[in-house]
Amino acid sequence: MKRNIKIMFIIALLQGLVFYAPISTLYRQASGLNIFQISIIESICLALCLLLELPWGLVADKIGYRKAFIICCLLYVVSKFIFWQATDFFGFLLERIILSIVLSGISGVDNGILYLSDPDNNQKNFGIYSALGTTGLVIATLVYSLVIKTDYRLASLLTMIGYFLAFIAALFLTEVKSEKSKLTFKGLLLLIKDLFTNKKLLYLVIATGIFTEVRQMIVVVISQVQYLNSGLSLSIIGIAYLIVTLGGLCSSFSEKVTNWLKPKKFIYLIYLSVFVSLVVLIFNPSGFISVFLILILEIGFALFMPLSEDLQNKEITISDRASALSVNFLMIDSLGVLIEVPMGYLTLNSLKPAYFFAIILMIGSFLFLKQYLAEVKS
In this predicted structure, the answer to whether residue 143 has a pLDDT above a threshold of 90 is no
pLDDT at position 174: 87
- My answer on whether 167 and 201 are in the same domain is no
pLDDT at position 361: 95
Q: Which of 173-182, 214-223, 285-294 has the lowest mean pLDDT?
A: 173-182
Question: Is position 231 within any domain?
Answer: yes
What is the rounded CA–CA span in Å between residue 61 and residue 56? 9
Domain count, the chain: 2
- My answer on whether 165 and 253 are in the same domain is no
CATH number at residue 55: 1.20.1250.20
pLDDT at position 318: 57
- My answer on whether 223 and 79 are in the same domain is no
- Residue 41 and residue 152 in contact, taking contact as beta carbons nearer than 8 Å: no
Question: Is position 28 within any domain?
Answer: yes
In terms of Cα–Cα distance, which of 313, 369, 303, 269 is closest to 121? 313
Question: Is position 189 within any domain?
Answer: no
Cβ contacts of residue 184 below 8 Å, gap of 6+? Answer: none
Mean pLDDT of the chain: 83
- My answer on whether 112 and 157 are in the same domain is yes
pLDDT at position 201: 79
Q: Which residue has the higher pLDDT, 167 or 219?
A: 167
Give first-to-last CA distance, the chain, whole Å. 35
Domain residues for 255? 195-378
pLDDT per position as a tens digit, 158-187: 999 999 999 999 999 988 876 555 555 566
- My answer on whether 210 and 137 are in the same domain is no
- My answer on whether 256 and 378 are in the same domain is yes
In terms of Cα–Cα distance, which of 62, 111, 68 is closest to 316? 111
- My answer on whether 4 and 103 are in the same domain is yes
